[in-house]
Amino acid sequence: MILSIKRILLFLISAATLLGAAERPNILWITSEDNAWNWLGCYGNQEAVTPRLDALAEGGLMFTHAYSNGPVCAVARSTILNGVYAVTQGTQHMRSRHPIPAKFKPYVSYFRELGYYCTNNSKTDYNFKGDDNALWDECSPKAHYRNRPSADQPFFAIFNFTSTHESTLFPDVIARNRKSGVIPKTTRLAPSEVAVPPYLPDLPEIRSDIASYHDNMTAMDKQVGEVLDELEKSGLAEDTIVFYYGDHGGAIPRGKRYLEDTGVRVPMLVHVPEKWRALSPFKAGAVIDEPVAFVDLAPTVLSLVGQEKPAQMQGRAFLGPKREAPGEDDVVFLFADRFDELYGMRRGITDGRWKYIRCFTPYLPAAPYSYYAQGQAGWAAWQKAWQDGKLKPEFSAIWEAPQPVERLYDTASDPMEVKNLAGDPAHAEKLAAMRDRLKQTMIEASDTGLVAEPMFSELAEGKPIAGYLAGRKGDVPKLAELAFLASEADARNLPELTKGLASGDPVTRYWSAQGCLILGEAAAPAAEALVALLGDSSTSVRVSAAHALFVIGRKDEGKAAVLAELERAKTEEAQQNVVNTLTTFGALDEIPE
């Protein structure tokens, strides 16, 4: 949505005047877990029953291209909390609790300094070392803005609903929720009649899960309504700006944990009451197609209370007097790394239409990225159908390796991202441009994913890996170039990769070994250089070299080296990496109890 310069200036002047007063708006965040944008009626889902959220959209602002930068909760929350990409902080690995630099200050700290009463009800999961609860005035299932010491004190309050979490599709949870009346005794929609998206096989279990999830969405919508009704009854509705958003995509297969829109594109609705209308450049009921992302939320809420964006924050304020209009070339940065026990590094960018995804670990299948999701009948049925050879190739591909290194989607013509245009000569120019833009974005963000997670403790010695990489700022472009080169699977790169195997830098050795692994048999001439790395000082380099030896044909040697690594692994991350590697060549049965 393009605004005239005159209108923007008038908006900024009036908003600044409004916030010049001592009074500031309350802010209420309502979040729901594991639901992408397309599960709500207001976003066009004809099967949805979400009346309260639809009404919120009708009277408020509906962002059609809102994104969770990371497609899983803890990674997303660390990005939201600090207004900094998880990959910049070193918080991209699920529930990792690595330390981060002190300069990454949570937005809630700024609010408390302004005198706000800040409550969180109640999920934290911020994914870095520290006491999550201590950030808040109140953080518990009973936390509520009504508990503030004075009725005159402004508040920032979060209510987080788990009624749509992926675990609510586990058969025992479905049964319990139907018995307790949380959802109907039988599905509102007949499973035989639901729409199955084109990226999923048409299996009875998947149909059943889709029908059940619609019931979960309706139950969540009711919870949202209860919070809004309570706000109205309290007499605070006209003083309070309300945000609703989903914490990332999901919960049916190929949602959560994936960089396709089904994993990262979320519903985001904002209600700005008449009293604070000057804080929004958009009219009530506006449908806004400019891309916004979770990294933008902290700058935005600070802007709504008249505060400048702190220097360390990377997002842009999309509301309030400090609003920054999106640039013509702006993209949303997307990232995915280790989820629970399974590694798999992917990065992506989108401008709201074109999406580019790069896989830096194409030797790993794209499913599962977490065994936890297998608790769903739909996920389990999909895997069994693949194992039984009953699927068409397009539905088998997610379970197999190698995966495509590059994916390019035109989400305008292909909203479910089933047609990869990366190999289409007609889109070669767009592919190259998006590839270069992703690389530059990773460099600008000082992407700590360029360092393998088991190396964090080796290189940073208990300190933030972000600090380590900041000390090597001049090397980041070279490391990014090497990561892209390593993932190309081009035999012409072997001389450079072989040279890198002998580097004095462990990160360079790691990516060079990864490049040989991705090349497979074509890397056979580098075998002796890989053997030399089996005694490397870094566990990630040793495992990568052993894995590469396995795939180039020296299987016994590679397998023995990886199994030996189990005895040497000193951290949980290193152990996970070893087990993950053994899984790829079917050696899990050889792991000692």
Return the pLDDT at 12: 45
CB within 8 Å of 127: residues ≥ 6 apart: 74, 75, 77, 78, 86, 91, 93, 94, 95, 96, 97
Residue of 228, 340, 215, 213 whose CA lies nearest to 273: 228
**Is the pLDDT reported for residue 13 higher than 80?**
no
Cβ atoms of 407 and 281 within 8 Å: the answer is no
pLDDT on residue 144? 98
Is pLDDT of 550 > 70? yes
pLDDT, tens digit, for every residue of 434-445?
999 999 999 999
Q: Quick one: pLDDT at residue 195?
A: 97
Report the distance separating Cα 196 and Cα 252, nearest Å.
11
**pLDDT computed for residue 256 by the predictor:** 98
Q: Can you give the pLDDT at residue 19?
A: 52
Could you give the C-alpha distances from 564 to 503, 572, 593, in angstroms and in order?
Answer: 24, 16, 14
Average pLDDT across the chain, whole number: 95
Is pLDDT of 5 > 50?
no
> Would the pLDDT of 204 be above 90?
yes
Residue 567 to residue 270: CA distance in whole angstroms: 53
pLDDT score, position 590? 74
Residue among 405, 392, 397 at smallest CA distance from 367: 397
Distance CA 198, CA 9 (A): 45
Q: Tell me, what's the pLDDT at 4?
A: 46
183: which residues sit within 8 A by CB, 6+ positions away? 174, 177, 212, 215, 216, 218, 219
pLDDT at position 21 is: 38
What pLDDT, on the 0 to 100 scale, is given for residue 288?
Answer: 98
Confidence of residue 282 (pLDDT cuts 50, 70, 90): very high
- Res 320: pLDDT: 98
Quick check: 277 pLDDT over 80? yes
In degrees to the nearest 10, what's the CA dihedral of 175, 180, 186, 187? -90
Token reading at 216: 């979960």
Token pair 């949505």 in the structure block, residue: 1
Q: Check residue 586 and give its pLDDT.
A: 80
Q: Which of 108-112, 215-219, 476-480, 562-566 has the lowest mean pLDDT?
A: 562-566
- Beta 240-246 vs 26-32: how paired, if at all? parallel
Q: What whole-number percentage of the chain has pLDDT above 70?
A: 96
Mean pLDDT on 560-568:
93
CB atoms within 10 A of CB 287: 13
What's residue 8's pLDDT?
A: 47
139 given a catalytic annotation: no
pLDDT band at 449 (very low <50, low <70, confident <90, very high): very high
Q: In the predicted model, what is the mean pLDDT of residues 20-24?
A: 62
Q: What is the mean pLDDT of residues 532-556?
A: 97
What residues have CB less than 8 Å from 430, skipping those under 6 apart? 354, 408, 421
Report the candidate in 553, 455, 471, 552 with the shortest Cα–Cα distance to residue 508: 455
Q: Residue 342: its pLDDT value, please?
A: 94
What's the CA angle centered on 112, arms 90 and 85, to 5 degrees? 20
Structure tokens at 339: 């989820």
Residue 585 binned pLDDT confidence (cut-offs 50, 70, 90): confident
- Cα–Cα distances (Å) from 147 to 28, 153, 231, in that order, read 14, 11, 13
> Which residue out of 42, 73, 118, 516 is catalytically annotated?
73
Q: Please report the pLDDT score of residue 125 as a whole number.
A: 93
What DSSP designation does 286 have?
-
- pLDDT recorded at residue 20: 42
Q: How confident is the model at residue 3 (pLDDT cuts 50, 70, 90)?
A: very low
- pLDDT at 287 > cutoff 80: yes
Residue 9 reports pLDDT greater than 70:
no
Give the sign of the dihedral formed by CA 10, CA 13, CA 16, CA 21. negative
CA quadruple 272, 86, 583, 260: dihedral sign: positive
Taking the C-alpha atoms of residue 400 and residue 414, their distance in angstroms, rounded to an integer, is 23
Residue 11 clears pLDDT 90, i.e. is over it:
no
Residues 349-375 have a mean pLDDT of 97
Q: Which two tokens stand for residue 417?
A: 């991202």
Cβ neighbour number for residue 237 with a 10 Å cutoff: 18
Bond preceding residue 251 cis, omega within 30 of 0: yes
Question: Coil, strand or helix: which one is 334?
Answer: strand
- Reported as a single tens digit per residue, the pLDDT across 224-266 is 999 999 999 999 999 999 999 999 999 999 999 999 999 999 9
Q: Which of 248, 243, 180 is nearest to 215 (CA)?
A: 180
